[in-house]
Amino acid sequence: MEISKHYFDTVIIGSGLAGCRAAIECIGNGSVAVLSKLYPTRSHSTAAQGGIGAALGNEEEDSPEWHTYDTVKGSDFLGDQDAIEIMCYDAIPTIIELEHMGVPFSRTPEGKIAQRRFGGHTREFGKAPVRRACYSADRTGHAVLFALYEQCQLKGVKFFQEFQVLDIVVENEAVQGIIAINIKDGSIHVFEAKAVIVASGGYGKIFKVTSNAYASTGECLSMLFRQGLPLEDMEFFQFHPTGLYGLGILITEGARGEGGILINGKGERFMERYAPTIKDLAPRDMVSRAILTEIREGRGIDGKDYVYLDLRHVDKKILEERLPEITTFCKIYMGIDPSEAPIPIVPTAHYAMGGIPTDIDGRVLKDVDGSTVYGLYAAGECACVSVHGANRLGCNSLLDTVVFGRRAGKSASSNLRTATKGRVTKERIQIIVDCINMIKNSNGRESVGSVRKDLQTAMMDKCSVFRIEEGLKTLLEEIKQLKERYKEISIKDKSNRFNTELLDALELGHMLTLAEAITASALQRTESRGAHYREDYPERDDENWLKHTFAFLTDKGINFKFKPVKITRFKPEERKY
Amino acid sequence: MEKYYTFRIKRYLPDENPSERWDEFRIKLNSMERVLDGLVKIKETKDGTLTFRKSCAHGVCGSCAMKINGKNKLACQSLVKDLPELIVIEPLPSLPVIKDLVVDMTMFFEKNDKVLPYLINEEPPPERERIQSPQDQHKILESITCIMCGSCTTSCPVFWANKNYLGPSALLKAFRFIFDTRDRATDERLARITGENGIWRCHSIFNCVEVCPKEIDVTKHILKLKRLAVKKGFTGGEK
Amino acid sequence: MRYRWNTGSIAWLVHRITGIILTFYLIAHIYVLSHLKDPEAYQKIMSMMKNPIIKFGELVLFAIVLKHVFAGIRITLLEMGVSTKYQKQLAYAGALIIAVLWFVGAFYFLQEVF
């Protein structure tokens, strides 16, 4: 097999918002390579619809302090408050900078960046919804990603398109580089580097119904996890309340921000019962639970397993101007016009709050004591700073990617001078080559498709919005069986060129590892907090569980350690909206 | 409601002999499923070698553009219930094929790079955002929705005949910046798009408009560029 | 499978083909004219023109000219800023006007024969 070697000072994995933002920060300081398994602008950041949060106060009075409070409260007090404060205060210059880079934000009549309401964002510490989400119609992710990618092009960042990472080499407590495959011809490329920034995004594809892309499989997290590095707060996976029924395609929270309401089979605006103050604009975990509770109690539409998102009363002009994308989605996929008919929706797997633990400068932590892996950084959805805690607020994810993408890029660059060049050993490369050959030469009876489908169904059934000990235990058993079946996997495509079947098989192995980490983390947290809801432990338990989970993969299975939550200003209180 | 569909797919597997062939697959799909779901099902259950690009699966990333029943479309946006029982699928026309439905888009992206596809404004930025009226923002509203799937350029007969033509997608990108009130490089861009392979090659055939999955009226944008070029005196690559 | 045709591409193709035919016609036309050296030759040609086959050819030519002219007008209107939303309607309207003009023209042409 052909193997090429490259050297770059900084290698960035992923070309979404976090990856591109980090690249812009790094390009002035040494050579930078960005790897993406897709064409850069196909990254899933492009699917973000609603907005990016910042207390600009363009539409009404707002302050970063309120933003901080909302984020802390939204996180069910599991977010680290020092990091949250940095994010919310950095938000303002960050958005202004994005605007200067060319992001075509929608505008207020005075020509400033337009802002709208979003779930969980309030004024004066929870008094009423506030307009905080800066948006570009309902294509905010697309607008920001294109602008950042374009700036990368302008500054001459080197992109390796359709290169999939096969291994991130961490040896001797430092990152050495990465091993990747050029999808186009199947050749192996080794990138040695001083710094590696992981910005590989989420892993929603572990679940059956998800708003995430086919590419969101999370293999980079698993690669680090398998090398003994921890994954933080994996039990917290956000389900977005409004996914198109049967498809999981996202309908932005902005739809409710612009006045949309949720109604059940009886025609009631049921969110009034669950969050009397901000109703339909409650945080996502609460709304998702509320929807599924309505359905469970037989109040779905016609007793079926969905409810309606009603936009019929929203001004048609607003739909056309501010929500054109979701209007087309409804027309194309459901055959309905949201201005005339309500939209059937159901919660959909959306965002991973957990991930690779990092400090506020994107440095990857190797233990709960705060020690870091030399030269390894992470940012974006794959990372866990943690600013989202147990539940992310809408429009904070784009903010997270750009704020912490920038910080990770900055700290990676500033350490370049003292850093030593990484070295990827031949043995390490051989392991990857062997693994590929093993899959190609396998005569097993299992197919990628069937194992993947069973995994996604099992995760959806037992580890989604509602969880219970019994279910999680069965799920762990099922994952174990799936892992056995995975060993029997074989593929029909033996070629080198664009072998997506091989890549699917490799991704699936990593998805199984992650699924196990999620399930085991969910099983050991015996409380309900944010997106993690245990039916057998329905209450939040601050006394025992106000701490982050660090999952480690050892020879004996998954071990857990815990890191205290950083609490500065806002003491935990009951979370009511 | 489930129904059987026949997918007739143009295959290209360079390692096999002959490398080109047509394959037919019969699969059952429900009325909500899309051509992409059909392709995924075929790959999972019938032929793992079938190769195509995919990612977001709801028409925002632009990965899965292909020729479906003689017209460029996103596989993830084409519901099978709107198509006849026989669905003929080919790669995007006139680009080199890598494997099956995967085409080499390098040429397509290079065209894009030629129009300086980034905001250029070297004036020191103000402390807050640059002011832009909603009316001004609306001028580029349509052009910023482009997902660069390549459907338009590969549907253009001018591009089929002349691979040097910049093509609708790159010209739309030029429009996006030329008509952005915050950009300051209009003249450089006009010079780049008014040469012999630029806007004047557009013959208003409207194939690009017919296929755009984001329903962008690309020809309208190219015509606006033509009028601006004439007004500013750019007729042949320079003033 | 051949790429599917639509109004715009058909209009474009017909515009091209009629243009090419007209170019050849123009060459033939100039060639014939350049051989008109004396009144006899002129009379000879003119009497040939009464031939029904030539008449039929003239009708075809008339259709081609009309089509080419209206295709040109449609493109000019679009380039001058008529909304591209109406590109199809313009093509259909053009076809309608062409049909009407052709019938009127044919009526006068054929009067000369009969």
Q: Is residue C23 part of a domain?
A: yes
Q: Is residue C2 part of a domain?
A: no
Distances (CA, A) of A360 to A3, A52, A127, A385: 36, 20, 30, 6
User: What's the token pair of residue B48?
Assistant: 């793992």
Residue in B with minimal Cα distance to A113: B129
Taking the model in full, what pTM does it have?
0.95
Q: What is the spatial distance between Cα A119 and Cα A285, in angstroms, rounded to a whole number?
A: 10
CB proximity under 8 Å: B 89-148 to C: 90, 93
The single residue listed with the structure tokens 């604009």 is A281
Residue in B with minimal Cα distance to C14: B205
Residues of A in contact with B48 (CB under 8 A): 447-448, 491-493, 501
Task: Give how far A370 is from chain B: nearest CA, Å.
Answer: 36
pLDDT one-digit tens code per residue, B187-218? 999 999 999 999 999 999 999 999 999 999 99
Which of C4, C8, C78 minimises the CB distance to B71? C4
Which CATH entry fits the domain spanning A242-347: 1.10.10.10, 3.90.700.10, 3.40.50.2000, 3.40.1360.10? 3.90.700.10
Q: CB B105 to CB A107 under 8 A?
A: no
Q: What is the pLDDT of residue C113?
A: 63
Q: Which of A303, A294, A244 is nearest to A270 (CA)?
A: A294
Class (C level, CATH) for B2-103? alpha beta
Q: Which residue has the higher pLDDT, C43 or A487?
A: A487
Question: What angle do helix axes B218-231 and B167-178 make, rounded to 10 degrees?
Answer: 60
Q: What is the pLDDT of residue A268?
A: 95
pLDDT one-digit tens code per residue, A420-463? 999 999 999 999 999 999 999 999 999 999 999 999 999 999 99
Q: CB A38 to CB B61 under 8 A?
A: yes
Residues of C in contact with B219 (CB under 8 A): 78, 84, 87
Q: What is the pLDDT of residue C1?
A: 84
Task: Give how far C28 is from chain B: nearest CA, Å.
Answer: 28
Q: C-alpha angle B119/B124/B125, rounded to 5°?
A: 65
SS3 string, chain C, reads: CCCCCCHHHHHHHHHHHHHHHHHHHHHHHHHHHHCCCCHHHHHHHHHHCCCHHHHHHHHHHHHHHHHHHHHHHHHHHHHHCCCHHHHHHHHHHHHHHHHHHHHHHHHHHHHHHC
- Neighbour-count burial of C109, counting CB atoms closer than 10 A to its CB (0-12 exposed, 13-18 middle, 19+ buried): middle
pLDDT one-digit tens code per residue, B68-86? 999 999 999 999 999 999 9
Q: What is the pLDDT of residue B235?
A: 83
Q: What is the pLDDT of residue C114?
A: 60
Instruction: Give the residue-averaged pLDDT of A403-419.
Output: 95
Provide the residue type at C70 as one letter. F
SS3 string, A255-293, reads: HHHCCCEEECCCCCCCHHHHCCCCHHHCCHHHHHHHHHH
Q: How far does Cα A118 stand from its chain's mean position?
A: 18
Residue in A with minimal Cα distance to B32: A333
Asked whether the predicted pLDDT for residue C46 surpasses 90, the reply is no
Assigned CATH for B106-231: 1.10.1060.10
Q: Do chains C and A touch (3 or more CB pairs under 8 A)?
A: no
Q: CB B144 to CB A102 under 8 A?
A: no
For chain B, give the percent of residues with pLDDT over 90. 97
User: What's the token pair of residue A337?
Assistant: 């016009």
Which of A44, A107, A491 minimises the CB distance to B137? A107
Instruction: Give the residue-averaged pLDDT of A273-287.
Output: 94
pLDDT one-digit tens code per residue, A18-34? 999 999 999 989 999 99
Asked whether the predicted pLDDT for residue B236 surpasses 80, the reply is no
ipTM of the complex: 0.96
Which of B13, B128, B147 minimises the CB distance to A96? B128
Instruction: Write the CB contacts of A495 (distance below 8 Å, at least 6 apart in sequence).
Output: A186, B13, B14, B15, B49, B99
The mean pLDDT of chain B is 95
Residues of A in contact with B97 (CB under 8 A): none
Residue C29's CATH number: 1.20.1300.10
Is the domain covering A434-542 a CATH 1.20.58.100 domain? yes
| Residues of A with catalytic function | 284
pLDDT one-digit tens code per residue, A167-189? 999 999 999 999 999 999 999 99
For A49-84, the DSSP string reads -S-EE----SSS---HHHHHHHHHHHTTT-S-HHHH
Quick one: pLDDT band at residue C30, thresholds 50, 70, 90? Answer: very high
Asked whether the predicted pLDDT for residue A2 surpasses 80, the reply is no
Are A230 and A410 a contacting pair, CB within 8 Å? no
pLDDT one-digit tens code per residue, A304-359? 999 999 999 999 999 999 999 999 999 999 999 999 999 999 999 999 999 999 99
- Neighbour-count burial of A301, counting CB atoms closer than 10 A to its CB (0-12 exposed, 13-18 middle, 19+ buried): buried
Cis omega (within 30 of 0) for bond into C39:
no
Residue in B with minimal Cα distance to A447: B44
The pairing of beta strand A188-198 with beta strand A174-182: antiparallel
Quick one: pLDDT band at residue C52, thresholds 50, 70, 90? Answer: confident
Residue in B with minimal Cα distance to C9: B205
Task: Give how far A527 is from chain B: nearest CA, Å.
Answer: 34
Put simply, whether B203 touches C (Cβ < 8 Å) is: yes
Q: Could you list the residue range(s) of the whole structural domain that residue C27 is in?
A: 7-113
Q: In sequence order, what are the beta bridge partners of B74?
A: B65
Provide the residue type at B9 as one letter. I
Q: What is the spatial distance between Cα B229 and Cα B221, in angstroms, rounded to a whole number?
A: 12
Per-domain residue ranges for chain A? 242-347, 434-542
Q: CB B48 to CB A495 under 8 A?
A: no
Q: What is the pLDDT of residue B180?
A: 97
Q: CB B79 to CB A332 under 8 A?
A: yes
Q: What is the pLDDT of residue A396?
A: 96
Task: Give how far B37 is from chain C: nearest CA, Å.
Answer: 22
Q: What is the spatial distance between Cα B82 and Cα B73, in angstroms, rounded to a whole number?
A: 13
Q: Where in chain B is the domain with CATH 1.10.1060.10?
A: 106-231
State the total domains in chain C. 1
